[in-house]
């Protein structure tokens, strides 16, 4: 695997609580992405980053925020978790724009909101 | 919206060839990808094809691209039980990879 570490790998949280997921890379890649995977939907882009402090929304960004203060770390925050955010979350990295470079995926974080 | 379509299930016998089909939406996509996901794991890039190619072969894998019909296929020759997994087709649109829902390949011995 490329040097991507997601933490935590599993989390159970209560509705209404804030949750932060971390993606850490050691590849010095410029682009970082957060996807969620749900049965019947494949993977859908939540947010992405194209540099330190440069982020933008993806297809399913409502209820999520992100931050990237260092090249190696990309944080995904659920400000007030809801049951619809129960999912498997994947971080991905790529050296350049995804249409011209391979994207590498982390192992995923399984989040359950009860 | 953008939809990448794949059949959901494919069942084959060990040693047979598997063909997984995909239709995509954006004719301007530069690259088209096939990813593999084993249970409990992340996605592993299997292969990709540049949009100006018709075919790409990589050991047991053959990718065919029909741009006119926006159809992509992945053929796995001599399928093994270790090939059992979910296979995702993806196209690049803007900053994102748009994924299909995945095809579950089941290989029986």
Q: What string of DSSP letters covers B4-52?
A: -EE-SEEEEETTS-EEEEEE-S-TT-SEEEEEEE-TT--EEEEEEEETT
Cα end-to-end distance, chain B, whole Å:
40
**Residue B1 vs residue A13, higher pLDDT:** A13
Report CB contact under 8 Å: A56, B29: no
- pLDDT attached to residue A80: 96
Give me the percent of chain A exceeding a pLDDT of 70.
Answer: 94
For residue B68, cis peptide bond before it (omega within 30 degrees of 0) = no
**What whole-number distance in Å separates Cα of residue A76 and Cα of residue A68?**
9
The answer on pLDDT for A113 being more than 90 is yes
User: Hey, of B33, B39, B43, B49, which one would you mutate to test binding to chain A, going by the most A CBs within 10 A of its CB?
Assistant: B43
Across the interface, which of A43, A48, A99 has its CB nearest the CB of B31?
Answer: A99
Residue of A nearest to B91 (CA): A99
- pLDDT attached to residue B1: 44
CA pseudo-torsion sign A37, B38, A72, A20: positive
- pLDDT attached to residue A100: 59
Instruction: Give A61: exposed, middle or buried? Use CB within 10 Å, 0-12, 13-18, 19+.
Output: middle
Looking at chain B, the number of H-run helices and the number of E-run strands are: 0, 11
**Tens of pLDDT, residues A48-72:** 999 999 999 998 999 999 999 999 9
**Interval A7-16 mean pLDDT:** 97
The single residue listed with the structure tokens 């890039």 is B45
**What whole-number distance in Å separates Cα of residue B109 and Cα of residue B99?**
30
Across the interface, which of A1, A31, A43 has its CB nearest the CB of B99?
Answer: A43
Compute the nearest-CA separation of A24 from chain B (Å): 15
Average pLDDT value for chain A: 92
Interface A-B, measured as beta-carbon pairs within 8 A, has a size of: 57
Instruction: Give B69: exposed, middle or buried? Use CB within 10 Å, 0-12, 13-18, 19+.
Output: exposed
- pLDDT attached to residue B27: 75
Instruction: Give B24: exposed, middle or buried? Use CB within 10 Å, 0-12, 13-18, 19+.
Output: buried
**Tens of pLDDT, residues B24-80:** 987 777 789 999 999 888 888 899 898 889 999 999 999 999 999 999 999 999 999
């Amino acid at each position: 695997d490329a040097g991507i570490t997601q933490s935590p790998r599993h989390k159970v949280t209560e509705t209404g609580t804030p949750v932060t997921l971390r993606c850490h890379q050691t590849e010095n890649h410029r682009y970082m992405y957060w996807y969620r995977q749900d049965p019947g939907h494949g993977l859908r882009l939540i947010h992405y980053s194209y540099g330190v402090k440069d982020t933008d929304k993806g297809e399913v960004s409502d209820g999520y925020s992100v931050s990237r203060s260092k090249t190696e770390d990309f944080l995904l925050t659920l400000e007030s978790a809801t049951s619809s955010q129960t999912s498997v979350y994947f971080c991905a990295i790529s050296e350049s724009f995804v249409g011209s470079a391979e994207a590498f995926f982390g192992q995923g974080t399984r989040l359950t909101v009860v | 919206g953008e939809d990448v379509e794949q059949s959901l299930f494919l069942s084959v016998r060990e040693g047979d060839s598997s063909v997984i089909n995909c239709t995509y939406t954006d004719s301007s996509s530069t690259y088209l990808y096939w990813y593999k996901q084993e249970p409990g794991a992340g996605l592993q890039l299997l292969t990709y094809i540049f949009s100006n190619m018709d075919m790409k072969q990589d050991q047991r894998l053959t990718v065919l691209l029909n741009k006119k019909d926006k159809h992509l296929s992945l053929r796995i020759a001599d399928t093994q039980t270790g090939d059992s997994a979910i296979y995702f087709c993806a196209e690049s649109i803007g900053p994102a990879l748009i994924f299909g829902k995945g095809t579950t390949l089941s290989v029986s011995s």
